[in-house]
């Protein structure tokens, strides 16, 4: 078993990003700029946004955070997004999910200018991804591709089973793994809560990508020996053992699955760190106008 070490890979890629951000600053006189909008005070969202902001500073980006109470109206939020869309000093705009029930996430996603949509959730970016055209790839799937690349894992011809079909992870991941590219060139099975015989499906996989949101859901008896395991899940539980007061678990029963896998991502220290790298790379590409002029 070999660990796919998100800490090592993310630090390495961030060094490159920092160099490129410094070049960008010296040629343009400005830093790549990421703006985040956070509504409410969900513990997980607070942590993710703080980490994104901190990482921006670390690689020499500018970052700004706009915070709103849960009581913010949809109209107020959409107006703010429109305003940021017009701001030439902003390269990337993300709105942290989930949003309160009275705000339609689809409207929010579609209001963000697709040229600043560094989370890659806008239908224009998803459509272009589907057609293998230059676009912002959703940050988590992008981070997973970078991880596979870093370890020179050739996925050509593999059977990839993705568990979970969300718009932000499972569905785009299934498209990317089936693309004519490497990583990619897989035969992909996209599974979800209505899949019959899920265990039999996962047992067929050369590569399993678990994005379910259920602690230790994928157990050793579901995994073919030698499979590659990518664990996207972040399940937070309160804990008295840690300083932060909570502990993170993946969707995969790491202790029992790791010994029979060929490669596996840990939680924490795996995909989560690579997601931030995906976001930073998209923001830099946006600043340099590499994808959209």
Interacting residue with ligand NDP among 40, 100, 213, 269 (CB under 6 A): 213
- Give the Cα separation of 114 and 121 in Å (integer): 9
- Reading the block at residue 101, the tokens are 């029930």
Binding-site size for ligand NDP (CB under 6 A) equals 25
Residue 232 interacts with ligand NDP (CB under 6 A): yes or no: yes
Options 126, 145, 147, 169; binder of ligand NDP; rule CB under 6 A: 169
Per the annotation, binding residues for NADP(+) are 164-166, 234
Minimum Å distance from CB 38 to ligand NDP? Answer: 16
Does residue 196 bind ligand NDP (CB under 6 A)? no
The reply to whether 138 sits near ligand NDP by the rule CB under 6 A is no
Token digits of residue 173: 């991941």
Does 215 contact ligand NDP by CB under 6 A? Answer: no
Residue 95, helix vs strand vs coil: strand
CA distance 131 to 20: 28
Interface with ligand NDP (CB under 6 A), residue from 115, 175, 272, 277: 272
Alpha-carbon distance of 156 to 177, in angstroms, equals 9
Nearest Cα to Cα of residue 122 among 168, 162, 90: 168
**If binding is defined by CB under 6 A, does position 10 make contact with ligand NDP?**
no
Task: Give the bridge partners for 218, in sequence order.
Answer: 252
96 as an active site residue: the answer is: yes
| Spatial CB neighbours of 218, under 8 Å, sequence gap ≥ 6 | 163, 202, 208, 210, 212, 229, 231, 251, 252, 253, 257
CB of 166 or CB of 185, closer to ligand NDP: 166
Binder of ligand NDP out of 10, 174, 261, 275 (CB under 6 A):
275
Residue from 92, 170, 172, 266 touching ligand NDP (CB under 6 A): that is 170
Q: What minimum distance in Å lies between the beta carbon of 163 and ligand NDP?
A: 6
Q: Is 211 in the site for ligand NDP (CB under 6 A)?
A: yes
Binding string, 100-129, against ligand NDP, x = CB under 6 A? ------------------------------
Among 45, 47, 166, 256, binds ligand NDP (CB under 6 A): 166
Kindly list the strands in the beta sheet with 187-191, ordered across the sheet, starting from the edge strand earlier in the chain.
Answer: 2-3, 263-264, 228-231, 207-210, 159-163, 187-191
Peptide bond into 98 cis (omega under 30): yes
> Which residue, among 153, 152, 175, has the nearest Cα to 162 in the 3D structure?
175
92 lies in the binding site for ligand NDP (CB under 6 A): no
Residue with tokens 């459509």: 127
Positions touching ligand NDP (CB under 6 A) are 140, 163-166, 168-170, 191-195, 198, 211-214, 232-235, 271-272, 275
The set of catalytic residues is: 52, 96, 119
């Amino acid at each position: 078993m070999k660990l796919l070490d998100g800490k090592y890979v993310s630090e390495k890629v961030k060094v490159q990003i920092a160099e490129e951000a410094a070049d960008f600053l010296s040629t343009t006189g400005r830093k790549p700029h990421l703006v985040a909008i956070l509504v409410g005070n969900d513990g997980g969202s607070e942590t993710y946004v703080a980490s994104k902001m901190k990482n921006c500073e670390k690689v020499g980006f500018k970052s700004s955070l706009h915070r709103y109470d849960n009581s913010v109206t949809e109209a107020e939020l959409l107006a703010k997004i429109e305003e940021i869309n017009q701001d030439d000093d902003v390269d990337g705009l993300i709105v942290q999910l989930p949003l309160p029930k009275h705000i339609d996430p689809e409207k929010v996603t579609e209001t963000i200018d697709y040229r600043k949509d560094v989370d890659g959730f806008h239908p224009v970016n998803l459509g272009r991804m589907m057609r293998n055209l230059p676009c912002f790839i959703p940050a988590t799937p992008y981070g997973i591709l970078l991880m596979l690349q870093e370890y020179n894992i050739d996925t050509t011809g593999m059977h990839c089973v993705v568990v979970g079909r969300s718009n932000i992870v499972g569905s785009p991941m299934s498209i990317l793994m089936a693309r004519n590219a490497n990583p990619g060139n897989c035969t992909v099975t996209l599974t979800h809560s209505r899949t019959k015989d899920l265990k039999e499906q996962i047992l067929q996989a050369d590569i399993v990508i678990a994005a379910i949101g259920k602690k230790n859901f994928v157990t050793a008896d579901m995994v073919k020996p030698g499979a590659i395991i990518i664990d996207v899940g972040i399940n937070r539980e309160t804990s008295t053992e840690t300083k932060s007061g909570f502990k993170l678990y993946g969707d995969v029963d790491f202790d029992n699955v790791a010994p029979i896998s060929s490669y596996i991502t840990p939680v924490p220290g795996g995909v989560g760190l690579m997601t931030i790298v995906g976001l930073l790379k998209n923001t830099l590409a946006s600043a340099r106008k590499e994808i959209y002029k």
